Structure 1
Amino acid sequence: MVFFLLFLIQTFALSGLALGYLASYFLLRTVAYLSPWLPVWMWYGDIGLFLHAVFIASTSTVGIIAVLANKGHALKLCSYILASLLIVEILATVQLATRSYSLDRALYVDLNDSMTTSQQYYSYNISDTQMWDEIQLEVNCCGVISYEDWFTTRYGNGSSVPDSCCLMVTKGCGANIASNSDPGDEIILHGCLPTIMSSVRNDFDYYSHNCMDACCCHSNYSDFYDLLPNKQDENGA
């Protein structure tokens, strides 16, 4: 019975660590990286996921101590809390599954609006200029949907794109690119938004499935067996 309780509670603890890793990954790679463009609800979602992970891991740790110390009241309280957290997690998962398309679409629309607005301040605002140059150089993209988006901005003036759009970046390489009969020889043609959205989807799918499966479902029994207080007695029997 003790072994089963330790196994069950530490599985919860591992799931909390996995969720915390997932939240931290999104915070560092996506949310913080694209913070000027991302909607506020993405921040709330990531922070909520991280806090949920902290509650699971900390409550599970207390539960393990309660099992080893034979504190029935504390164990019961931890069990109620973990059951509540599990229900919240199930409900949240169902909501994400049923509303995945609408959330994906909402993120796309919000990013499109933010990026389009930010484009208008390129070369006029240093933070927007640095953001666009960094994204376009790192992601290998140009504009929001395509390079032609720059033509409608004050910077592009109907014909130019930033130098960070160029295949070989040199000063002035993006000037008057509209007059080029084959701009694909000089600049990147596809926009940043489709690439960013694809990266976000792929990262979420990979880490939400593989990381959770590895950390939660494939736990090693021997790790929990070492926690048993009567292990030496059993070995000596």
Structure 2
Amino acid sequence: MGCVSKYGLLTINFFVVAFGLCVVGVSAAILRQNTIYGVVLSNLFYSVPLTTLLAGIFLTCLGVLGCLGAIKEHPVLLKIYAAVVMVLLIVAMTAGITMLVFTANTSSFLVRGMTNVFNEYGNEDKEYLTHDLDIFQHTMHCCGIVSYTDWANFTYGNNTNVADGCCRNQTLGCGEGLLQNPQVEDLVYMKGCLSFVVNAFDAICLTLGILTFALVCFQALSIAWACIIAKDSRRYAHI
């Protein structure tokens, strides 16, 4: 077997490691957004970047092992490497497709999740959620999902109230009865919070999807190359 095949696999796995680290970095960035947007999102959203993060870590580690396998030129190890990477490649590809689907349907997905969260506002056993949601709305200068009138349909709103975080001058209980106040539009933030969340995640989800597919392409090439080296190694072993 020539050095071209061995060093070709080394080169491919170098790019696998590089793209794997990029996928890990972007996935971690999405998960860190929980400190900012997590209060208005369901936990289901984070299962996708978490899956991609784990797949990226494993693929990166296997990229390193692929380099070692190419150096050793061991056919059995190379075949095992190719089989394991194939399984993880499918996981990464599935996560990438799901992430792109989320990007295409971000609004409808987030509206369902945010509706559930906003309906829990004001519950005595969810004081942390009430506090975090107030901070989020007041910091982003937004109220409700699409607009402040959404609070009329939420459990706490009951056609009467808005969250305290919606008030331009926030004080405890400032949102009570504001929906019936003729000057409500001067007292609360009118724009909904959906646009802030959608814009923040569309870009990062699209980036993660593209990086994942790039990683999949390099990994597929790595699998094919590993099989070629394993075949050549077995052929030369009989000589």
Q: TM-score, normalised by structure 1?
A: 0.69
CA distance in 1, matches of 2:94, 2:164: 47
Where does residue 128 of structure 2 map in the other structure?
127
- 3-state SS of 2:33 partner: helix
Where does residue 109 of structure 2 map in the other structure?
107
Where does residue 22 of structure 2 map in the other structure?
18
8 Å contact kept, 1:159–1:176: yes
CA distance in 2, matches of 1:124, 1:96: 33
8 Å contact kept, 2:122–2:130: no
1:50 aligned to 2:86? no
Where does residue 203 of structure 2 map in the other structure?
202
User: What does the per-residue CA deviation read over 1:170-206, in whole Å, with 9 as the maximum and x for residues that have no partner?
Assistant: 4565454345545333321122234323322233124
CA distance in 2, matches of 1:74, 1:83: 14
Where does residue 177 of structure 1 map in the other structure?
178
8 Å contact kept, 1:141–1:192: yes
CA distance in 2, matches of 1:65, 1:138: 50
Which aligned pairs between 1:28-39 and structure 2 lie closer than 5 A?
Answer: 28-30=32-34, 33-35=36-38, 38-39=41-42
CA gap of 1:193–1:120, structure 2 versus 1, over 3 A, is: farther
8 Å contact kept, 1:60–1:78: no
CA distance in 2, matches of 1:155, 1:85: 45
> Which has the higher relative contact order, 1 or 2, with Cα contacts under 8 A spaced 6 or more apart?
2
User: What does the per-residue CA deviation read over 1:142-161, in whole Å, with 9 as the maximum and x for residues that have no partner?
Assistant: 12332123345565464443
Aligned length: 213
1:136 Cα deviation from its structure 2 partner: 0.8
Unaligned regions of 5+ residues in structure 2, if any?
Answer: 219-239
8 Å contact kept, 2:146–2:194: yes
CA gap of 1:26–1:112, structure 2 versus 1, over 3 A, is: same
Where does residue 76 of structure 2 map in the other structure?
73
8 Å contact kept, 2:99–2:208: no
Which aligned pairs between 1:111-190 and structure 2 lie closer than 5 A?
Answer: 111-119=113-121, 121=123, 125-152=126-153, 155-156=156-157, 158-170=159-171, 173-178=174-179, 180-190=181-191
Q: TM-score, normalised by structure 2?
A: 0.69
CA distance in 1, matches of 2:208, 2:96: 15
8 Å contact kept, 2:99–2:205: no
Amino acid at match of 1:147: Y
1:34 Cα deviation from its structure 2 partner: 4.7
User: Identity percentage over the alignment?
Assistant: 21
Q: Larger helix proportion, structure 1 or 2?
A: 2
Where does residue 229 of structure 1 map in the other structure?
none
CA gap of 1:47–1:125, structure 2 versus 1, over 3 A, is: closer
Unaligned regions of 5+ residues in structure 1, if any?
Answer: 218-237
CA distance in 1, matches of 2:211, 2:114: 30
CA distance in 2, matches of 1:22, 1:101: 15
